[in-house]
Amino acid sequence: MKNIAPLFLLLLLFSCTKTPEELFQNAIIEYNTNQDPEARIIIEENYFSTLKAVEVEIADTYLAGHNCIILKSNAVTTIITSDGYKEPWSDDILYAYYDPQTQTLCTSDGYKAEFFIFSKDEQTGEQNIARLKTIELSDDEETTIDAFYVYNNTLYYFFKRRIYSADTVTGETTNIFPELTFPPPFTKEQFRVSLSIKADHLAVNIGNAGSYHLSLFSLSTKKSLFHNKKTNSFFYALLDDSVYYIGGKTGAWIIYRYPFTSQTPEPVKEFTSLKDISISGETVFYVDADDFHITGINFKSQISEKPLYPIKRLINDYLLIEHNRQLYLVKTKNYFDTNRHFEQLVPEFFEVDEISAEELTEEMQE
C-alpha cells in the first residue's frame, strides 16, 4: 500500500494538464530527474496518444492504403482511416485512398473508383458515411488497374502499363502520357506498382523481387525528369524538392537523392554490408550485419535501433506497432520525431532486449 500515495499524487499532479501530449512530456521530465517508476507508467500510458496512433485489430491480412489500412479476417473486411474512422467494407476492395482534411475516402475494386465522405454527429458521436460518386476505370473484365492516387481533385491510376487521370467532378478520363509506356524490367506477368504524388510531381515504380523501373514527372509541365530508371527496391521517398531511391546491387545498395532542379542523382549513403532496407515516409529502416537501424532519409539523424514496442509492418507512410496484443497505426514522421525527442531526454528508457533483425526484416516484406 505504501506505493499508492506517491502514484496518486503524481497522477493528480499530471491530471491538471489537458492533453496526453502534456502528460507525456511532464512524465518524461519527472523520469529524467529521478527515474521515477511511476512516471514511467504515465509515459507508457500516454505514448500512443502522443503519437496520435489509431487502434487496429489483429487480422489475417493487411492491405496498405494511403492514409488508411484495409483489414481482412474471417471473411470480414474493414477499412480504418488514419484519424480513426472504422467501417465494414466489401471484400472485393483492392485499393484505398483517404484524405484526412476533407474526410473523403476513395476505394477501388480494380474496375471502378467509388468516393465516400465520413462525418460524425457532434452530439452523439455517431459515425456516418455517404457515397459521393462512382467513376468507371476499366471496361476490360480481365484487366484491373494496378495502383491509384488522388491529388487536387484528380484521380491518377495505372492501367495496362500507362498512366491515366480521371476528373473527380466530371469523371472524364485522359491518358496523360500517351506517347509513353511503363513496363516492368522483366517479362514476368506478376509485378507491383506504386504511384505517389507530391509537390506537383508524380512518381511511378513498377517491378518485383529487387528489379524495378522508377519514373518521375512534373504534372504542371507534363515533362519527364527521368523515365524507367532501373532501381533495386519497391521503396522510395518522394519529397517536396527531390526523390530518394535505392540503387546499386543486392548487398551493396546505394541510396540516391535526385533533386527536381539539378536533375542529377546524388549518392547519399553507400552500404558495404546490407541485408535489407525499406523506406516509409522520410524514414529509412535497414538491417546492416546483425543490427537494425532507423534513420532519417538524409542519414543526418537517427533514433534507437531498439524501439519501445515491436514494429510489425510498414504501411506506406505509416507503421503498424504492437503492444499488449494490440496493433496501432502510427504516422512514421510522428514516430520518428517523438522517439528522437524522447530518446535525447531519456536514453536509458530505450535499454530493452535486443530485437531480432531477421524477424523484423521478414515482417517488413510481408
Pairwise CA distance, residues 48 & 330, whole Å:
8
Question: Which residues are registered as beta bridge partners of 235?
Answer: none
The C-alpha R_g of the chain, in whole angstroms, comes to 22
Question: Does residue 323 contact residue 49 with C-beta atoms inside 8 Å?
Answer: no
Domain boundaries, the chain: 1-50, 54-181, 191-274, 276-311+327-366
Task: Tell me which architecture the domain covering 54-181 has in CATH.
Answer: 7 Propeller (2.130)
Long-range contacts of 70-78 (CB under 8 A, 24+ apart): 70/96
Chain centroid to Cα 227, Å, comes to: 25
Write the CB contacts of 60 (distance below 8 Å, at least 6 apart in sequence).
Answer: 72, 73, 74
In tens digits, what is the pLDDT along the chain, a chain of 366 residues? 444 445 444 444 545 546 888 888 888 888 888 888 888 888 888 999 999 999 999 899 999 999 999 999 988 999 999 999 999 999 999 999 999 999 999 999 999 999 999 999 888 889 999 999 999 999 898 899 999 999 999 999 999 999 999 999 999 999 999 999 999 998 777 899 999 999 999 999 999 988 999 999 999 999 999 999 999 999 999 999 999 999 987 778 899 999 999 878 999 999 888 888 889 989 999 887 767 888 999 888 888 766 778 888 888 999 999 988 899 999 999 999 988 888 888 777 765 443 333 343 444 444
Using DSSP bridges, classify how beta strands 311-315 and 318-323 pair: parallel, antiparallel or unpaired: antiparallel
